[in-house]
Amino acid sequence: MAGRIRFGAVLLALLPATCLTGCASIASSAAAGLAGNLSAAILEQDDPELVREATPAYLVLIDSFARDSSDPEVLGAAAELYAAYGTLFVDDADRSRRLTDRALTYGRRAVCAADETGCELQRLDFDAYSSAIAGLRKRSGDALFSYSLGTLAWIQAHSADFQALAELPKVELALLRAGELTGPERQGDIYKYLGVLNSLRPPALGGDPGKGKAYFERAIELTEGRDLSVKVEYARGYARLVYDRELHDQLLNEVLTADVQQPGLTLFNRMAQAEAKGLLASADDYF
């Protein structure tokens, strides 16, 4: 997708009400294109502070498209943007919870809009949830990924709540199914998040660092090392969990010497370098 905003799409949203019925399908397509382009433009930025300051206006704009939408692409883009902003750019805990609540809501709406089997997932016990996830069709793949990302962001913002942490096995199941249903462009992110999920807890508390390591390695392979956030999460999640200082420093030094300018990854790569510096600075105290 092009990394610029199609202003014509904004104008479509402002057409007189008499056009709304006849233009419904066009407006829906334009909204989806605008939502996707907004996300792409943000990901191409190399100035995180600019994104921090500008994104709230984008969120309000996407809200206007997603409010009454049944388009899973629009709803999925809203879920992903709220998830990213609520976890990466907001320091206030209460505000982060509110923003990720919206990410979760949009993610649920996206997967429901893509396939009615995905409706009411939050009300299902684990067995029924597993059956529903397994029954989703291929067209639901991107929406399921957006739902997973929105849920992960919500869990991170509500990490003090045991009930939120109890949702982790469901998220892992959703990500694995999304990996089966989506194309190659999603696989690197899916394996990265699977690595994070399996490195959140030590084995005594249900974690599986070995599996997390394998997922991180696969994510690096799939992204050809261009997504620097994978190595940062690998160092922070796995290397610190198992106290592997050599691997920890190797990964982070690779991040610091890498080129951040990568299509669709520039923003997160720039932020990954900043995080890598912080993790290396605190390594002596940690190890």
Contact 149/80 with Cβ under 8 angstroms?
A: yes
Q: What is the pLDDT of residues 229-243, one digit of tens each?
A: 999 999 999 999 999
Reported for 99-104, long-range contacts at CB under 8 A and 24+ positions apart, including other chains, are 99/157, 100/150, 100/153, 100/154, 100/156, 100/157, 100/158, 101/154, 102/78, 103/78, 103/79, 103/149, 103/150, 103/153, 103/154, 104/79, 104/150, 104/151, 104/153, 104/154
Q: What are 268's two structure tokens?
A: 């997160």
pTM score above 0.85? no
Buried residues in 151-161 as b, exposed as e (16+ CB within 10 A): bbbbbbbbeee
Instruction: Give 4: exposed, middle or buried? Use CB within 10 Å, 0-12, 13-18, 19+.
Output: exposed
- Residue 32 CB coordination number (10 Å): 20
CA distance 147 to 115: 13
Residue 207's pLDDT is: 75
Alpha-carbon dihedral sign for residues 268, 10, 69, 63: positive
Task: Say which amino acid occupies 6.
Answer: R
As averages over each run of 10 residues, the pLDDT of the chain (287 residues) reads 30 31 42 59 76 84 88 91 89 94 96 95 94 95 96 90 87 96 92 91 77 96 95 96 96 97 88 96 96
CA distance 73 to 34: 10
CA distance 152 to 246: 29
Query: In 3-state terms, what secondary structure has residue 47?
Result: coil
CA distance 44 to 71: 25
Residue 36's pLDDT is: 56
Q: What are 238's two structure tokens?
A: 């796995």
Residue 263's pLDDT is: 86
Q: Which domains does the chain have, with CATH numbers?
A: 24-176 (1.25.40.920), 183-287 (1.25.40.920)
Residue 8's pLDDT is: 29
CA distance 155 to 38: 25
Angle at the Cα of 123 (from 117 to 124), degrees rounded to 5? 65
Angle at the Cα of 17 (from 11 to 20), degrees rounded to 5? 75
Angle at the Cα of 151 (from 43 to 216), degrees rounded to 5? 65
CA distance 8 to 10: 5
What radius of gyration do the chain's Cα atoms show? 19
Q: Tell which residue, 175, 158, 259, has the closest CA to residue 212.
A: 175
